[in-house]
């Protein structure tokens, strides 16, 4: 069975098989973690993303990691929080689940997730962490890969929430 770690870090610095990008549907880059990943991976990433041609909310796509220490980037699109009336919970679950499925299909041993949708997309942080932990725990119990899942928290608030969840 796989393990879960919680760290506070810039996800672009991590030496893992795959990092997950909290992208938008265009896959053409943006602010926040998406911007940081594109800046660190270099312009070839944008070229590959252009060829993919977008990704609907809740789905995921895999690319090369280019200049990143990570071999792959799994781009997923989390929902924009609209008060909880627009299927946001299921869409966030799908974003985690579909990222993990891609990791499994590519024999990804170690993967790092950012706190998807909890930045400009405004998803409440505690509920988002609840969903992330539940989906990841279920998935690593049932599947051979990934063997290690890292929650790479950036802001202090998420880091505190995730640390508490790891113990509790
Ligand atoms: P979203 O649009 O999905 O909300 P954001 O990038 O705005 O995406 O925020 C998602 C999470 O990523 C936030 O918790 C934010 O603190 C975090 N974040 C921003 N930059 C980085 C980074 N370099 N590494 C890891 N996490 C980051």
- Determine if ligand 1 sits within 6 Å of the CB of residue 120: yes
CB-ligand 1 contact for 14 (6 Å cutoff): no
Q: Residue 138: CA atoms inside 13 Å, Cβ hemisphere, count?
A: 10
Provide the 3-class DSSP secondary structure of residue 111. Answer: strand
Task: Summarize pLDDT for 74-126 with one digit per residue, the tens.
Answer: 999 999 999 999 999 999 999 999 999 999 999 999 999 999 999 999 999 99
pTM above 0.75? yes
CA-closest residue to ligand 1 atom 19: 33
Residue-wise pLDDT tens digits, 50-79: 999 999 999 999 999 999 999 999 999 999
> 105: part of which helix (H) or strand (E)?
helix 88-105
Query: Is the preceding peptide bond at 147 cis, omega within 30 degrees of 0?
Result: no
Parallel, antiparallel, or unpaired for β 60-64 and 72-77? antiparallel
* Ligand 1, atom nearest to 22 Cα: 3
What domains does the chain contain, in order, with CATH numbers? 3-167 (3.40.220.10)
Query: CB of 32 closer than 6 A to ligand 1?
Result: yes
Catalytically active residues are 34
Confidence check: pLDDT of 1 > 90 = no
């Amino acid at each position: 069975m796989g393990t879960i770690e919680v760290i506070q870090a810039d996800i672009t610095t991590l030496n893992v098989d795959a990092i997950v990008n909290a992208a938008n549907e265009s896959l053409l880059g943006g602010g926040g973690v998406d911007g940081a990943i594109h800046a660190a991976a270099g312009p070839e990433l944008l070229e590959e993303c252009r060829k993919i041609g977008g990704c609907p909310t809740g789905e995921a796509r895999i690319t090369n990691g280019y200049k990143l220490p990570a071999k792959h980037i799994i781009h997923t699109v989390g929902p924009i929080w609209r008060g909880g009336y627009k299927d946001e919970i299921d869409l966030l679950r799908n974003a985690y689940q579909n990222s993990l499925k891609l990791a499994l299909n590519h024999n990804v041993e170690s993967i790092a997730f950012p706190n998807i949708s909890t930045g400009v997309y405004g998803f409440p942080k505690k509920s988002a962490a609840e969903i992330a932990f539940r989906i990841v725990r279920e998935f690593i119990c049932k599947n051979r890969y990934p063997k290690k899942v890292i929650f790479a928290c950036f802001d202090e608030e998420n880091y505190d929430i995730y640390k508490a969840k790891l113990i509790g």
